[in-house]
Structure 1
Amino acid sequence: MSGVDEVADLPALVDRARRLAVRPGPALLGITGAPAAGKSTLAAAVVAAVDGAVLVPMDGFHLANAELDRLGRRDRKGAPDTFDAAGYVAVLRRIRYGTDPVVYAPRFHREVEESYAGEIAVERARTRLVVTEGNYLLLPTGPWSPVAGLLDESWYVELADEVRLRRLVDRHVAYGREPAAARAWACGTDQVNAELVATTRGLADLVVRLDSGSGQE
């Protein structure tokens, strides 16, 4: 276990995010953790509670299924090399350092397993905090390595593996996989990714432990 601080209180997390939002901005808050740890639920709660906050998920940068087929990576969708990591970094840099009045980002639609370009608008004049969440924000190697340096703060969401695995299986079933196939994916591709993400825990500014009864991502 690392020496990073741990927090298990949502109001305290919201207060922390609000302090980031008063900096000359927009500030960038990164929320990471293994698949189904609760990242998206926490990110949505923070954005809802902080005035001028916008959510820019990493999942919007999934490569299209046709491109994954061409590359032979469709059966590993969700692994680090199945995203446009360089495109994600470029958008974060534009948000942090650019002067464009609006930066557009894509959004991933799980019901069709594809991203739609330009769905999320980050308006410089109105945005005080950008919350970005995803598995690989703190990976120190490859095209992901610049992400951590673009964040004002990073939180790692942690959840007991048995709860997280159950969520993963339930989620895959909800989006059309047969239960056996859902469990195989969760224990295979997803678990490999989870083990990689776990190596970045000690790089976070904060470890977050929340109620295990809520959240899906």
Structure 2
Amino acid sequence: METSDLAALTARARRLTATGHRRILGIAGPPGAGKSTLATRLVESLEGRAVLVPMDGFHLAQAELVRLGRAGRKGAPDTFDAAGFAALLRRLRRPETPGPVYAPAFDRALEEPIAGAVPVPPGIPLVVTEGNYLLLDEEPWASVRALLDETWFLDADPELRVRRLVDRHVRFGKDRPYAERWVAESDERNARLVDRQRDRADLVVRLPDTP
């Protein structure tokens, strides 16, 4: 199934909040597709019934990437703590304590994850998570799909995605030639991997192309 209707997407997410049990909605897609923008809009439209928990909070710290020799391809599947992300999803599905569950976030200005930045109160019926690798069927990511009640794949025009990515890197301090090279050599390699997983999604979303 494919849709481009934001109102219909909001209604579909709202139905997930009315089941009587906490549900987790995943929004997957390649870098620059607009996942965080869509997820933020959904959470805002649900008016306190949903919390956004981004996958990017599970980036490995820069010092660890350097130690592992992976800093030059930050954003690839093995530059995240996939097992930690899956463990958090399990905990969010069935909280073990009466208080909030805390999730990490990613600070793009620092290029580092920030622990305990996102509180998920016990009464929240829907968690929205977004990230590149929610549908990846390779270990250690393969367990993630089963922990999501519904998954959407966000498609976007490739030229628009690339432009967004370059502009994002420039906005956070990289010079444009470096940003263009990084997107071509790293982000787009990851995008091709992500795109091969779209058939595992419950819904393919194609929103109007906006900068």
For the aligned pair, the TM-score class normalised by the smaller chain equals over 0.9
TM-score (norm 2): 0.97
| Counterpart secondary structure, 2:209 | coil
C-alpha separation in 2, matches of 1:188 and 1:100 = 44
**Counterpart residue number, 1:108:** 106
Contact 1:94–1:100 (8 Å) recurs in 2: no
Identity among equivalent positions (%) equals 56
Answering whether residue 73 of structure 2 is matched by residue 76 of structure 1, we say: yes
Q: Offset of 1:100 from its aligned partner?
A: 2.1
| Structure 1 stretches of 4+ moved >6 Å | none
Cα shift at 1:26: 1.3
- Matched to 1:26, the amino acid is R
State the match for 1:8 in structure 2.
Answer: 4
CA RMSD, Structure 1 to Structure 2 (Å):
0.8
The match for 1:136 is 133
Q: How many residues align?
A: 209
Q: Which residue of 2 aligns with 1:212?
A: 209
> 2:19 corresponds to which residue?
23
**Deviations for 1:29-50, whole angstroms, at most 9, x for unmatched residues?**
0000000001000000000011
Q: Report the residue type matching 2:85 in the other structure.
A: Y
Deviations 1:59-115 (A, max 9, x none): 000000000000000011000000010000000000112332221100100001001
Deviation at 1:23, TM superposition (A): 1.2
Measure the CA separation in 2 of the matches of 1:155 and 1:188: 26
State which of 176, 200, 210 in structure 2 corresponds to 1:203. 200
Alpha-carbon deviation of 1:212? 1.3
One-letter amino acid of the counterpart of residue 108, structure 1: F
Superposition deviation, residue 177 in structure 1: 0.9
Structure 2 unmatched runs, 5+: none
Q: Is the 8 A contact 1:43 1:132 kept in 2?
A: yes
